[in-house]
Homo-oligomer: A and B are copies of this chain.
């Protein structure tokens, strides 16, 4: 079946998202022009507006997509067992989700400033929902006497910062494999909440 001349729907769209993600992560949202994104995709700047209302939507859609994907994947993992087992599983989940998505993670933590107030509020709500999953694990561990944590909210924010920081220095092919890094961080995390290691 013949396709309309010049029609690339379903191809150009994702390429625009990919190019925007890569360029925003590398240079920062404000430093990247629509012309640069268009050049990366291989079209002229005006053509981008067939796929996004404006530059802001491009950023917002990337961040929202990342957060909903993250939360859906965590809920699908359905962590069960003792608080320590769930904490260990959360740690491994977080690392496995984030390591292959370093560009997106970087964006999600660095470019919140460049969202409009309304868009920021939506992303913040999603982040809070994710954090709450971890905080629940910590609360349960404290209640059961498995964990020693002075303040679960502080520990939650601290642990997420600890884990997400990996994306700032991890490089594929570096000194440690992803599995080694994962094991290292599991030890750090479980020890940090005062859990006895198995």
A residues contacting B by CB (< 8 A) are 26-31, 110, 113-114, 148-151, 154-155, 157-162, 164-166, 168-169, 176, 180-181, 183-185, 187-189, 191-194
Contact = CB atoms under 8 A, between A and B. Distances in A.
Given A151-B176, A183-B150, A191-B193, A113 B27 contact: yes
Nearest to A192: B192
A150 B187 contact: yes
A113 B194 CA distance: 37
Contact of A168 (B161, B168, B188): B161
A25 to B, nearest CB: 9
B157 A165 contact: yes
B27 A28 contact: no
A168 B189 CA distance: 20
Interface SS majority for chain A: helix
8 contacts: A26-B113, A29-B30, A29-B31, A151-B184, A157-B165, A157-B168, A188-B193, A192-B192
Contact of A30 (B31, B176, B185, B194): B31
B184 A154 contact: yes
Which of A110, A189, A191, A193 has the most chain B CB atoms closer than 10 A to its own CB? A191
Contact of A110 (B110, B161, B185, B187): B110
Given A157-B165, A162-B158, A164-B161, A191 B148 contact: yes
Given A191-B193, A191-B194, A192-B191, A169 B184 contact: no
